[in-house]
Structure 1
Amino acid sequence: MCSIRPLCNKNNAHISHCANCQTVYIWHNNLLLNFTPQDFQLFYETMQQQDFYDCSVTFPDGEERIIVHSPCRDISFTFNLQEWLDMKEAMNEAILLQQVYDLIR
């Protein structure tokens, strides 16, 4: 049975994990992605390598957004600048809290 613990909440970015199976969940608006701890680390590293201003594109509504592919190539996140900053900060905090939980285990 899953025992979900929140790792971080930043506006629309919510990251949690299961204390039993270690699945990491990223919730963003109406999208939920599940990661193994290793896949979450890879996704985190991928996001850290991207720069909003180098990778953003103008969407039809005129807003600049960055597109980030999820591990499932058919699903991508799109973030405006504030959402991007929130998600990166949430992922940084989630990684740190995960490490704390790992030390406690």
Structure 2
Amino acid sequence: MCSIRQLCNKNSAQISHCANCQTVYIWHNNLLLNFSPHDFQLFHETMQQQEFYDCSMMFPDGEERIIVHSPCRDISFTFTQPEWMDMKEAMNQAILLQQVYDLIR
């Protein structure tokens, strides 16, 4: 049975993981993605390589957003600039807290 621990909560970005199976969960608005610890690290590294203004585009509603593809080809995140900053900060904090939990185990 999963024992979910919250790693970070930054506005609409929430990251948690299961203390037993180590699955990492990224919640953003109404989207939930599940990652193995290794896949979460790879997704984090991918996001860290992207800069908002290098990759953003204007959406039909007049908002500038960045598109980030998930490991599932058919699902992508879209972030406004404040959401992008929140998600990157949340992922950084989650990685650090995961490392702390790994040291404790």
Shorter-chain-normalised TM-score: which range? over 0.9
Q: 1:17 Cα deviation (Å)?
A: 0.1
Partner of 1:78: 78
SS in 1 for 2:44: helix
Deviations 1:12-36 (CA, angstroms, capped at 9, x unpaired): 0000000000000000000000000
TM-score (norm 1): 1.00
- Mark the runs of 5 or more structure 2 residues left unpaired by the alignment: none
Paired with 1:18 and 1:32, the residues of 2 have a C-alpha distance of 14
Q: 1:48 Cα deviation (Å)?
A: 0.1
Q: Are positions 1:52 and 2:42 aligned together?
A: no
- The count of residues paired between Structure 1 and Structure 2 equals 105
Q: Are positions 1:41 and 2:41 aligned together?
A: yes
Counterpart residue identity of residue 17, structure 1: H
Among all aligned residue pairs of Structure 1 and Structure 2, give the percentage whose two residues are the same amino acid: 87
Q: Are positions 1:23 and 2:26 aligned together?
A: no
Paired with 1:80 and 1:59, the residues of 2 have a C-alpha distance of 10
Runs ≥4 residues deviating over 4 A? none
Counterpart residue identity of residue 62, structure 2: G
